[in-house]
Structure 1
Amino acid sequence: MTTLFRTNAKKQEFKWLPVGSIARNPNQPRKIFEEAALRELSDSIARFGVITPLTVRQVAGGYELIAGERRLRASQMAGLTAVPCYIIAAEEEDSSLMALVENLQRRDLDFFEEALGLLRLTELYGMTQQQAAEQIGRTQSAVANKLRLLRLGPETITTVREFKLTERHARALLRIPEEDKQLKAAQEIARRAMNVEQAEAYIERMLSERPPREQGQTRRFVARDVRLFLNTVTRAVTTMQQSGFGARLERKNEDDVMVLTIRIPQHPL
């Protein structure tokens, strides 16, 4: 991360700081803190102290947290009045970006928080998916797949989170284009406590039971076999020939592409 930010390593300083002097970072990507997990961490801190110092920057009237909000919260629960901190010199924008990247690198966000964090890297900080992937040690395809989760409707996302469905459950729900049907499926999967395989089978049945016209619309979007489209072009040229037009279809393969040329005389034969 050192090449990404305008911080100066020589200005890093270690201090014990009063808990009350540290303000939380408003751009912290983690929004959900599980009480039971915090309590476990608090118990550990009460026994052994804070093993890994927090990272903060100095601001007017105190300090702003860059990394370590779970440790800060757990320390407060444990009754600590001061915590060990690294104080670094960082601009406001760098502070927010560091907090975001640090959380994404730790991989302890839930998958929707990860997706929202990656979205901020690409939109707020102007990174490409490849650049975002390099910052957090992932592949570009992993970043793209995570961002796709945000295509789910907001109520579906709430249901997935509330019932603690897995990321694979969420990916399966992406197959359903309509938000209302996504939500219905998510609720049914949660109600019946389906595992991933059962959920995928349920969604497959749900899609196969669509009315014929709706199924046809879906096929147009998901068709992947180029032969389907090639047959359509060939039939169109054949129809023109039978109607008296001397149409000709020429096909040539070039590397990874197929070149189709249709020659149609301006006047029928």
Structure 2
Amino acid sequence: MARKALGRGIKALIPDEIGLATMRPGVGFLEISLNEVSRNPRQPRSSMSERALGELADSIRQRGVLQPIVVRQTESGFELVAGERRFLACKKAGLEKIPAVLKEAGEEDVMELALIENLQREDLNPIDEARAYRTLMSEFFLTQEELASKVGKDRSSVANCLRLLNLPDTVQDMIRSGAISSGHARALLSLGQPSEQIAVARRAAAKGMSVRETEAFVNRLVRRRGKGGYARSKPPEVLALEERLRNFLATNVRISWRGRKGKVEIDYYGPEELERILEVMGVLASE
């Protein structure tokens, strides 16, 4: 059975061929002042190429806005739901007004549509994508299965993307900037120490190592640990259990022990996420 895409998707809101020539009163289209539009605070994209934005602004100066933005009404004016690049490019091009589609949208709709717009463009960096997934899961109490169904991806793809957030901020910044790929980053997850992950990430970027070369290098480090060159690595069954818990809870989990005693550490990133994790564990009942 095919997975259902997130919400109705951007194409359900804006037909492919719609443009200024087809806009007319009474069908949800309007032209509004750029000063009346506020940016979406839940926009998953944390950075945008100035070069690409400049090229889009040049295109808009020459040809106009070919596709309207999507907005929702607020007390102070309008808030962007979809079309942030067009909005910023219009400002850069010196326009005063922009064509828009007015839609009713709740908080979850705004977050979902902003995410799906970027996913459909296929240029959202993996860290911003993972953070958007985590926000949707924590704020709207979605399981990985439910989220995967909404975005039209396999649960394993969502889980692998979320795992990138377990890496140190330095490595996440390298992924975001394109210094290393998400494939390189996933190889680093086998290393338990953040200092090691950072060192290997920097080595891979500096030497231009492929993903396969990075995986081989990490595997050599892990084997050396087992031979006494480093601290002893965890048994495979413990690593497998940690992985299952990470996938189930959608957050980082560590198991440590001494003798017959030990502890399980579960990371969370705010009170909303803690509540979500407790609901997944069955400690709290969802409303």
Q: What is the deviation of 1:72?
A: 0.7
Letter in 1 for 2:233: Q
Q: What is the deviation of 1:148?
A: 1.2
Letter in 2 for 1:218: K
- Say whether the 8 Å CA contact 2:43–2:114 is kept in structure 1: yes
1:86-105 matched pairs, under 5 angstroms: 86-105=101-120
CA separation in 2, counterparts of 1:89 and 1:26? 17
Q: What is the deviation of 1:2?
A: 4.5
The aligned residue for residue 65 of structure 1 is 80
Whether 2:173 is the aligned partner of 1:173: answer no
CA separation in 2, counterparts of 1:217 and 1:105? 40
1:218 to 234, 258, 262: 234
2:32 to 5, 13, 17: 17
The aligned residue for residue 53 of structure 1 is 68
Summarize deviations over 1:66-116 as a string: whole Å, max 9, x none.
001111111111222211110112234533443334334443310111111
Give TM-score, length-normalised by structure 2: 0.69
CA separation in 2, counterparts of 1:165 and 1:138? 23
- Say whether the 8 Å CA contact 1:66–1:95 is kept in structure 2: yes
CA separation in 1, counterparts of 2:103 and 2:122? 23
CA separation in 2, counterparts of 1:136 and 1:91? 18
The aligned residue for residue 82 of structure 1 is 97
Structure exhibiting the larger radius of gyration computed from Cα positions? 1
Structure 1 residue runs of 4 or more that deviate by more than 4 Å after TM superposition: 213-216
CA separation in 2, counterparts of 1:200 and 1:134? 30
**Superposed CA RMSD:** 2.5
Stretches of structure 1 that go unaligned for 5 or more consecutive residues are 225-269
Stretches of structure 2 that go unaligned for 5 or more consecutive residues are 1-6, 14-25, 242-287
Q: What is the deviation of 1:218?
A: 3.1
- Say whether the 8 Å CA contact 1:105–1:136 is kept in structure 2: no
In the alignment of these two chains, the number of paired residues is: 218
CA separation in 1, counterparts of 2:123 and 2:214? 25
The aligned residue for residue 111 of structure 1 is 126
Higher relative contact order (CA 8 A, sep 6+): 2
1:131 to 146, 168, 183: 146
- Say whether the 8 Å CA contact 2:226–2:233 is kept in structure 1: no
CA separation in 2, counterparts of 1:56 and 1:223? 45
Cα 1:163–1:90, aligned 2, differ >3 Å: closer, same or farther? closer
